[in-house]
Amino acid sequence: MAKWWTGGLAPVDVGSSLRIVPYWDCWRTESDRLNLVIDPGVSFGAGDHPTTLIALELLEKTFNQMTGKQVPISLFDIGTGTGVLSIAAEALGCGFIVACDLDPSAIWSAKRNVVLNHNLRSDTNKKNPVFYVGPLDAIQFTFDLVVANLAAPVLRRLKKELIACAGCYLILSGIPDSMFDLIQKEFVSEDTDLENIVRLDEWNGLVLRKKASSYKD
C-alpha cells in the first residue's frame, strides 16, 4: 500500500477493488478499481491510516460475502470522519447507508466528500448516505452491516450498543495489538462468532457475525 506523503500524495489501493484517491488527483487517475475520492480536510486525515485501511478491507470482504443473499444491504457507519467507509459502501452497492459522528465538522467533511464522488460517478444513489451528528443510539433499529472504526476504549464502552444495532455483521477497527485479545474476548460471546481478522502494522480489525443472522452460509 502506498503512503500519502505531504506534498506528494498518491492513490492508495485497498483490498481487491478499492482505491483511495486525493481529490486533486482524481482527474488523472485511471483504474479498474472503485475510486473513493477524498479531500482530507484539516483534521480528519486522508483515509490512509492503517485502521481505516483495515476497515475498508473488511468491509469489502464482508459485503462480497453477503452479496446475493439479500438485497439491498443496509449499513451503519459509526464515527464516519471523512466519510470514506460510507463512500466505499455506496460504491460497492449498499442500498441504504446511515453515518454518524459526534463532531459536526466531521459530518461537514464527509458530506463534501460524498458530493465529490457523486459528481465524478454516474452510478451513485443520490439518497445515500444519510448523515447525522449524534450518538449511535439515536437510531433505534438494526442494520445488516455495522462498521465502527473507533479507539479501542470507545469500542469497549459502546459494546452493548454496537452489538445491538448489528443485525448480521459487525466490523470493528481501531484496535492496537496491546488491546486486541481483550477486545476479542469481550465481543465474541454466545451471541456472536468471530468471522474474520485483518492486521496491519500494529493495528487490528475483526468481523463478528450474529448467530441469529439470516446470512448464515
Find the DSSP H helices in the chain: 50-66, 84-92, 104-120, 152-157, 159-165, 177-187
More confident residue, 45 or 86: 86
Encode pLDDT of 16-72 as tens digits. 999 998 887 766 556 788 999 998 765 555 567 899 999 999 999 999 998 766 668
Among 57-61, 73-77, 117-121, 170-174, which stretch is predicted with the lowest mean pLDDT? Answer: 117-121
- What is each CA distance from 169 to 70, 136, 137, in whole angstroms? 13, 16, 17
Residue 156 pLDDT: 97
Distance (Å, rounded) from C-alpha 94 to C-alpha 101? 20
Nearest 5 degrees, angle CA 87-CA 15-CA 66?
70
Distance (Å, rounded) from C-alpha 115 to C-alpha 193? 37
Encode pLDDT of 104-156 as tens digits. 999 999 999 999 898 877 777 778 899 999 999 998 889 999 999 999 999 99
pTM to 2 decimals? 0.90
Asked whether residue 79 carries a pLDDT value surpassing 90, the answer given is yes
Q: Break the chain into its structural domains and give their ranges.
A: 49-210
Instruction: Please say whether the beta carbons of 159 and 113 come within 8 A.
Output: no
Grid cell listed for 136:
449511535
- What is each CA distance from 2 to 87, 124, 193, in whole angstroms? 20, 27, 33
Which CATH topology does 49-210 take? Answer: Rossmann fold (3.40.50)
